[in-house]
Amino acid sequence: VSFPNVNSEQVTEITLQSLSENVASLKEKIARKIQIPANKQKLWGKAGFLKKDNMSLAHYCVGAGETLIMSL
């Protein structure tokens, strides 16, 4: 997945092992890459707000190569 970096106009890419990973796992990877704490991130995909951290990305219909939007 990829998402626009809130501190610049660049898009940051994150590689996942599987879409069965949960939202919390993705947020931790984002936190390590751009130093924004996972608990401050709000992620949006084509299917809407990825609200529950324990749910899989597949649950939210996140697809390979999809761009997510992050707000704080």
Whether 5 has a pLDDT exceeding 70, the answer reads no
User: Any idea what the CATH number is for the domain that residue 28 is in?
Assistant: 3.10.20.90
The residue range of the domain holding 35 is 2-71
Q: What is the pTM of this model?
A: 0.84
C-alpha dist (Å) from residue 58 to 16, 19, 20, 32, 72: 12, 5, 6, 22, 23
Q: What is the pLDDT of residues 18-72, one digit of tens each?
A: 999 999 999 999 999 888 999 999 999 998 999 999 999 999 999 888 889 888 8
The per-residue pLDDT for 22 is: 96
Number of structural domains (the chain) is 1
